[in-house]
């Protein structure tokens, strides 16, 4: 699993469009180490695998919005094509088409990232509605463990102490790592 794409590599490419968490075709191509046209050709050659809700084409306004709001997507401004957005289901289906070690590793990393984000979102939602202090504490601990798991993938620890603090509306997470 050490060859997998890092959580940050994937998490930074997930955007919200139409109340869905999606990754645009250009970012999917980067993650899989192929050209965008290869991703779109795979979709075009397998239309039965991508029903409604799996992939959609952005409108001109949506394209303009993502170009303005996500710096890594600025190059789309000059493309005459409207990008395609893959939902989680669409990414899973794409994984059944793309072959090879990199494709398999990237797919596993994408699945793990979506899973962690969903789990953390559920915990935070439950936490905001929970009144029982013991249950709140358990949910906070679980959320902290998920966040620590996501962060520790990339942390380089020396003989120093590292403290990471994240503050959500209902959860404050402080994670300290000490190693000698």
Looking at the predicted structure, is the pLDDT value of residue 113 above 80?
A: no
Domain assignment present for residue 162? The answer is no
Burial class (CB in 10 A: 0-12, 13-18, 19+), 62: middle
Please report whether residue 180 resides in a domain: no
Q: Tens digit of pLDDT for each residue in 5-41?
A: 565 667 788 888 999 989 999 999 988 888 999 999 9
CB 26 within 8 A of CB 128: no
Would you say residue 165 lies in a domain?
no
Tell me whether residue 136 is in a domain.
Answer: yes
Q: For residue 85, what pLDDT is reported?
A: 94
For residue 51, give the DSSP letter. -
pLDDT tens, residue by residue, 58-105:
999 999 999 998 888 888 888 889 999 999 889 888 888 877 666 667
Contact 144, 120 (CB under 8 A): no
* Residue 171 placed within a domain: no
In a domain, residue 166? The reply is: no
| 167 in any annotated domain | no
Q: What percent of the chain lies above the pLDDT cut of 70?
A: 69
Q: Which domain does 125 fall in, by range?
A: 7-146
Q: Count the domains in the chain.
A: 1
> What pLDDT score was predicted for residue 48?
94
pTM (predicted TM-score): 0.60
């Amino acid at each position: 699993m050490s060859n997998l794409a890092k959580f940050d590599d994937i998490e930074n490419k997930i955007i919200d469009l139409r109340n869905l968490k999606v990754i645009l075709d250009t970012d999917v191509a980067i993650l899989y180490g192929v050209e965008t046209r290869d991703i779109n050709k795979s979709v075009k050659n397998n239309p039965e695998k991508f029903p409604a809700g799996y992939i959609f084409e952005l409108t001109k306004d949506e394209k303009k919005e993502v170009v303005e709001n996500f710096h890594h997507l600025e190059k789309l401004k000059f493309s005459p094509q409207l990008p395609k957005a893959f939902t989680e289901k669409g990414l899973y289906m794409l994984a059944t088409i793309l072959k090879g070690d990199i494709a398999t590793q990237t797919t596993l990393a994408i699945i793990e990232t979506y899973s962690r984000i969903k789990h953390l979102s559920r915990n935070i939602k439950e936490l905001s509605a929970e009144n029982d202090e013991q249950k709140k504490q358990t949910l906070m601990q679980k959320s902290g463990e998920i966040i620590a798991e996501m962060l520790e993938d990339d942390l380089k620890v020396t003989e120093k102490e590292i403290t990471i603090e994240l503050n959500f509306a209902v959860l404050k997470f402080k994670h300290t790592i000490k190693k000698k």
